[in-house]
Amino acid sequence: MQKKSMDELQRLSVEEFKKASKKNVIILLEDVRSMHNVGSVFRSSDAFLVEGIILTGVSPRPPHRDIHKTALGATESVAWRYEKEAPVALEQLKEEGYKIVSVEQVHNSISLNDFKQATDEKLVLVFGNEVNGVSEEAIALSDTCIEIPQHGSKHSFNISVSVGIVLWEVLK
């Protein structure tokens, strides 16, 4: 086996990405503190052609070299906006017909393995703070919560890992 060259990978340019048809998924980051986590979410969002990212609360915003370090230019391709309070953004998205899905360990959550997105369904995937998770206010506005099955001694994944796992499963 031999690694593919950059030309063989046939990656979209930023302009081609912006014109490309996107998946009906928006990522909402609620009070995610780490610039590296935010950058990684941009990079995964680019890879999966998500519609966009909404950064809320204390989540850092581009441009910043520490975000760029992990985003590798995805802050230029992926549409994003900032909203001070997650509940305000979620209420607006509900009005626009989005289904709100928080990724959180709650009673009666749906295992990620069992979650199904309808073909034309518009989703907002909510990911919370690295320590406190998704807020109770955001959970209350959610149509459902999904949980990533875990089998070890730790009770959570890093936020950037969670985003990658959930996007892979939801969009496959």
Domain span at 57 = 18-171
CATH number of 156's domain: 3.40.1280.10
Q: What is the DSSP letter of 64?
A: -
Q: Are 99 and 143 in contact (CB under 8 A)?
A: yes
* Residue with the two structure tokens 């690295």: 130
> What would the pLDDT profile of 115-169 be if each residue is shown by its tens digit?
998 888 999 999 999 999 999 999 999 999 999 999 999 989 999 999 999 999 9
Predicted local distance difference test score (pLDDT) of residue 137: 98
Residue type, 39: G
For residue 79, give the 3-state DSSP assignment. Answer: coil
Predicted local distance difference test score (pLDDT) of residue 155: 87
In a domain, 56, yes or no: yes
Among residues 6, 13, 19, 28, which one has the least CA distance to residue 100?
28
| Model pTM above 0.85 | yes
What total number of domains does the chain contain?
1
In a domain, 157, yes or no: yes
Among residues 151, 146, 144, which one has the least CA distance to residue 169?
146
Q: Which helix (H) or strand (E) holds 15?
A: helix 14-19
Predicted local distance difference test score (pLDDT) of residue 26: 98
CA distances from 167 to 77, 101, 122, 158, 171 (A): 17, 12, 14, 14, 6
In a domain, 9, yes or no: no
In a domain, 12, yes or no: no
In a domain, 124, yes or no: yes
In a domain, 8, yes or no: no
> What would the pLDDT profile of 31-89 be if each residue is shown by its tens digit?
999 999 999 999 999 999 999 999 999 999 999 999 999 999 999 999 999 999 999 99
Average pLDDT over residues 101-106: 98
Q: At what angle do helices 35-47 and 159-171 cross, to 10 degrees?
A: 10
For residue 102, give the 3-state DSSP assignment. Answer: strand
In a domain, 42, yes or no: yes
Q: Are 118 and 155 in contact (CB under 8 A)?
A: no
